[in-house]
Amino acid sequence: MSERKPYPSDLSEARWALIGPTLTAWRKARLDRRPTGQPAKVELRDVFNAILYVNRTGIPWKYLPHDFPNHGTVYSYYAAWRDEGILAQLNYDLTGLARVKEGSKPEPTASVIDTQSVKTSHNVPLTSQGMDAAKKIVGRKRGILTDTIGLILAVTVTAASLSENAVGLRLLDQAKKTYPTISKSWVDTGFKNAVVEHGANLGIDVEVVNRKSGVRGFHVVKRRWVVERSLGWIMMHRRLARDYETLTSSSEAMIHIASIDNLAKRITDETTPTWRGTY
């Protein structure tokens, strides 16, 4: 890491130790394929810190502070990690470690599904936006599937007009492929028979959890509160307060980055005040 005053979003030594080996192995494999084999000129830790800065503060790429690597360089690494599945892999690896730390097995058996519709910025293509008629939001819909702790196992981003059922099918397919051990999932009443039947075909018992009858306003609903809390966690990362991404794959990547940030802190028992100023 280059010498500079650290930002609150920077990785500590302990958190970098969790993330660094995957990124280093990725770059070594890429360098081995280069005809010249010349080493890269930027520190991977600086690049990832810059990505975390964008994710946490919500700024555009070109507004990155000048003590980070050039914003074009940072974005090129981000795009490569997004497209080659490195961010998803990091999320998978850290999820296993976080589950073990909580006293669970690395591979989950139960899950919870929910969606969130968010407004989009002016640069988002109209073809990837839509109207969520129920929530009266024009934008995109995020679907996440978590374990019973609230750790994100699957992510999909679509136009907000896509039905809960269609999002649920995508999440179940993605989760079962990544975590074959999943055999149970809880959903809210927005998910209908199609999700239940598709889950059964995959070997997943999908249970629809209803709100308590006769109770008005907010109240804690069995299992569903876990995934709703996870949506709250990622919204603390300002890049996710609105969907700014041109590509839905970038929207998904930004959720993975927020999850990686939270997982690394969870595994190392760190919050910003405990490691700030340790460099």
pLDDT for 240 equals 96
Supply 166's token pair.
């269609």
For residues 189 and 58, give the distance between their C-alpha atoms in angstroms, rounded to a whole number.
33
* Residue 170 or residue 122, greater confidence: 170
The pLDDT mean for the chain works out to: 90
pLDDT for 59 equals 96
pLDDT for 222 equals 66
Q: What is the mean pLDDT of residues 222-226?
A: 78
Q: Which domain holds residue 158?
A: 106-244
CATH number assigned to the domain comprising residue 194 = 3.30.420
Kindly state whether residue 235 falls inside one of the protein's structural domains.
yes
Q: What is the mean pLDDT of residues 46-71?
A: 96
pLDDT for 225 equals 82
DSSP state of 120: B
Q: How many domains does the chain have?
A: 1
Supply 116's token pair.
């969130």
E-strand stretches of the chain: 110-119, 130-132, 137-146, 152-159, 184-187, 205-208
Kindly state whether residue 87 falls inside one of the protein's structural domains.
no
Q: What is the mean pLDDT of residues 181-190?
A: 92
Give this prediction's pTM: 0.90
User: Residue 33 — very low, low, confident or very high, per pLDDT cuts 50/70/90?
Assistant: confident
Asked whether the predicted pLDDT for residue 80 surpasses 50, the reply is yes
* Residue 278 or residue 212, greater confidence: 212
pLDDT for 192 equals 83
Structure confidence by residue, pLDDT tens digits, 225-263: 889 889 999 999 999 999 999 999 999 999 999 999 999
Q: What is the mean pLDDT of residues 24-50?
A: 85
Query: What sign does the dihedral 205-208-212-215 (CA atoms) show?
Result: positive
Asked whether the predicted pLDDT for residue 2 surpasses 70, the reply is no
Asked whether the predicted pLDDT for residue 279 surpasses 50, the reply is no
Asked whether the predicted pLDDT for residue 4 surpasses 50, the reply is yes
Kindly state whether residue 30 falls inside one of the protein's structural domains.
no
Kindly state whether residue 113 falls inside one of the protein's structural domains.
yes
Asked whether the predicted pLDDT for residue 276 surpasses 70, the reply is no
Kindly state whether residue 217 falls inside one of the protein's structural domains.
yes
pLDDT for 274 equals 44
Kindly state whether residue 191 falls inside one of the protein's structural domains.
yes
Kindly state whether residue 85 falls inside one of the protein's structural domains.
no
For residues 33 and 38, give the distance between their C-alpha atoms in angstroms, rounded to a whole number.
10
- Between the CA of residue 7 and those of 3, 54, 56, 176, 257, what are the distances in Å? 12, 12, 11, 38, 17
**Do the beta carbons of residue 96 and residue 168 sit within 8 Å?**
no
pLDDT for 275 equals 44
pLDDT for 153 equals 97
Asked whether the predicted pLDDT for residue 273 surpasses 60, the reply is no
Asked whether the predicted pLDDT for residue 272 surpasses 60, the reply is no
Of the ranges 137-141, 146-150, 224-228, 273-277, which one carries the lowest mean pLDDT score? 273-277
pLDDT for 209 equals 84
Kindly state whether residue 92 falls inside one of the protein's structural domains.
no
pLDDT for 1 equals 58
